[in-house]
Amino acid sequence: MRIVIAGGHGQIALRLERLLTARGYEVAGIIRDPEQGDDLREAGAEPVLCDLESASVERVAAVLQGAEAAVFAAGAGPGSGVARKDTVDRAAAVLFTDAAERARVRRFLMVSSMGADARHPGDEVFDAYLRAKGEADDHLRTRLGLEWTILRPGSLTDEPGTGRVRMEAHTGRGSIPRDDVAAVLAELVDTPATAGLTLELVSGTTPVDVAVKGVAGN
């Protein structure tokens, strides 16, 4: 299986690339900066240069051609302003979604955020971020050609993963190590029975594989 990850140099993406490569998958990561290529190669992924803020849907669809799964894990980052929340967290996600459907990719995972809501009020940058993520999620839900799952982690930490999580439609607020988010994504790639679900994710007591099987088909 070939899997393409948008935001290939992100902290979750690099972890996911290592996990998927270890499972024997062919993994490609989309990056803007060629200097990031060595980090992807070290993680076992093929770096693909493509700027999702300026690329056409045809260009991105070409990158996705032949892939059986796609993961949107890109983000404007904590230091960015309102404008890039729109161009990356919303517009690039929409572009990647449309390109995946055009390339006839079946499995699609969206790394969203707890609290994402297109109608979220407020004028702060984080408010704009939650609206952008919510709009991207809403758009994905309209793509009938994709077997999509939306994952909404709580507050992300760099603590070592525990391999134990809580994943439900609504978990309540909480935090989770990036290691565990990547582990859940790796399981979700292999679990198309979670298609059509929007899932919140925080640290918990259930092993990752059991948590994924527990929500599959619900």
Instruction: Please tell me the distance from the alpha carbon of residue 44 to that of residue 8, in angstroms, as a whole number.
Output: 11
Residues 28, 129, 134, 150: which is the catalytic one?
129
The number of residues in the chain equals 218
Structure tokens at 78: 């904590």
How is 33-56 classified by DSSP, letter by letter? Answer: -GGGHHHHHHTT-EEEE--TTT--
Handedness of CA 49, 51, 55, 58 (dihedral sign): positive
Instruction: Indicate if 25 belongs to the active site.
Output: no
Residues 6+ apart with CB under 8 A from 23: 186
Asked whether 45 and 73 are in contact (CB, 8 A), the reply is no
Which residues belong to the active site?
A: 129
